[in-house]
Structure 1
């Protein structure tokens, strides 16, 4: 009976297996001996240059699987589930988003939680040990009536210059801008071959550093940005 009790306790500690990504790598002291970010920050990858980024609307792809209405109360409740600080986070995103619907604010929050903030943490960890470059992919797909926006994986047809390949229009629509594919594909090829991303005929791609969160906003007209989110990041840290 004690063995069964131990199994039940282990299952209970693991949480609900039907939630988002219930199984993932863990730091066990063996196969994964150290926390990866801590190891990188301590210099485990010296001289490794990185190009790291996220899409502006990452969560919209996953939100398609959830048809339930999102109001302000639901927004606070869901943010509280992942942070214990739901009300403050909702206020922070409302300050940034103005009159945007609660569903859009939730998209912004989960995009930050699962994509933007992890990308920034990796940049923070590696920038003292190698060249770090950052991007935000913001092009808004017209597909599905615009529901996808700059959703998860939206950048991939442009990275590989396949935006006009048969079947890809389901994701990017029938008139994806070739100029964006030229810019994104060109930047990735330049980084892979020369170690520095560059935009053909575009602005210079400055390094991301602790002092300046330089990034390139990837859209039909690519532009440099400072990708800082102090208000919402402070709420997440709280």
Structure 2
């Protein structure tokens, strides 16, 4: 099955250890020229057989800034046709296979489907057709302009999911049995898609890893566009940005956004409310019943904050005064620091603030969403990744679970975060849970209810915990 006929033409992949892989299949036209800062346009059909044996171009982006560049590989593949995807196909079977579609993270300005940790071979090995995709990033994907649609990166994701619906049957996948999964900005994207009328019928289940359904007002997100325009000396319009040299644009983007991160804030890129893809706040829409029939698996890592706080040394620069000021700014309960310290003897002020930020930005919103869905038709399951990395004292930091979910602990790039002795048994357990969820909606533990069951993937293996750190969670009701 190395040759498959798609709606736009035939593609030839490669057979690797019994799995057929198609890399770099275009799902939309290259977003250049008059198509730049416009919604994705259809692919022009081709004649003959298109070779899809190498990853396609990645979206224009800067590399991660130090020190994260040493921990998060981010391949950069040149070319204009960045709206492409990859498909890993299991050995032929008697019936159609479940499909999983991976949407990468990277703060909406980094990442791609070519990251080695995201290799889909283990999913195909276990009977799943795995699709991974690229989408526009940064100002070209999430800029806010008066003369262009918002959320172009989400438009790209919708185009890729539409391609899956229309073509995945030719690869042995079931278009009615699609699970979308993503991490960080990928999970936030999925949260928006879950609530979007435009995504109805494109997937059946969803996995949100370390990202919650959020969107901001256009005026808030437009601050980044305005700052970039001022830096470049151009008007804050799509027409002006389309004329800008891409190298200058990326340099300006780095200068304007380099001090921001998901925990400490600063200028960056966001999914925004619009009249099309995201007409309503996603969290509110989901709490009110949007995607009620969709099964959802979601969770976070125990120490999300450590990816940003530890390598940069920020965790050691935060003192008691900074902690107190941050808690006042967040309008935190007066006893928050004391409650968090009780569960973390000897923790520094930076570690206390990081734990609070992890909860308020990720764990607590996920718990609220799970509570809202508890008695709804779609099942909700919650996990936590708690295995601590030995690398640089990162603990169970943001993105650490990725190599476990994909069962790619042997990839050198994965080991930059996990080290060389990460437990393979834990990867097998976590990967198997994701496969099981995509297959029948049951990852292997009870759905969310009043007991608040959380499957915790930690140093002791996979353990079901009821209401973990409940005293801390209750602070943020």
Normalised by the shorter chain, which TM-score bucket? Answer: 0.7 to 0.9
Aligned counterpart for 1:43 among listed residues 285, 289, 306? 289
Deviations 1:183-207 (A, max 9, x none): 0011101111121112xxxxxx111
Aligned counterpart for 2:457 among listed residues 208, 218, 226? 218
**Structure 1 stretches lacking a partner, 5+ long:** 1-9, 199-204
RMSD after superposition: 2.5
> Are 1:60 and 1:151, in contact at CA under 8 Å, matched by a contact in 2?
yes
Q: 1:207 to 1:31 in 2, by over 3 A?
A: closer
SS at 1:123's partner residue? helix
Deviations 1:13-39 (A, max 9, x none): 969975426442344555422221221
Deviations 1:75-124 (A, max 9, x none): 1112222x123643223322332332222211211111222112212212
Q: Which residue of 2 aligns with 1:109?
A: 356
In 2, Cα distance between the equivalents of 1:231 and 1:188? 29
The residue correspondences of 1:197-236 to structure 2 (distance < 5 A) are 197-198=443-444, 205-209=445-449, 211-220=450-459, 221-236=461-476
Q: 1:113 to 1:66 in 2, by over 3 A?
A: farther
SS at 2:394's partner residue? coil
Moved more, 95-104 or 216-225: 95-104
Point out which structure has higher relative CO (alpha carbons under 8 A, 6+ apart).
1
In 2, Cα distance between the equivalents of 1:231 and 1:29? 40
The residue correspondences of 1:65-214 to structure 2 (distance < 5 A) are 65-67=312-314, 69-81=317-329, 83-85=330-332, 87-129=334-376, 130-144=378-392, 147-198=393-444, 205-209=445-449, 211-214=450-453
In 2, Cα distance between the equivalents of 1:142 and 1:46? 40
Larger strand share, 1 or 2? 2
In 2, Cα distance between the equivalents of 1:86 and 1:73? 16
Aligned counterpart for 1:62 among listed residues 276, 293, 308? 308
In 2, Cα distance between the equivalents of 1:94 and 1:102? 9
SS at 1:162's partner residue? coil
In 1, Cα distance between the equivalents of 2:273 and 2:474? 26
Moved more, 212-221 or 86-95: 86-95
Specify the structure having the higher radius of gyration (Cα). 2
> Are 1:94 and 1:105, in contact at CA under 8 Å, matched by a contact in 2?
yes
Query: Normalising by structure 1, what TM-score?
Result: 0.81
In 2, Cα distance between the equivalents of 1:21 and 1:218? 32
> Are 1:161 and 1:182, in contact at CA under 8 Å, matched by a contact in 2?
yes
In 1, Cα distance between the equivalents of 2:442 and 2:476? 32
**Structure 2 stretches lacking a partner, 5+ long:** 1-218, 228-256
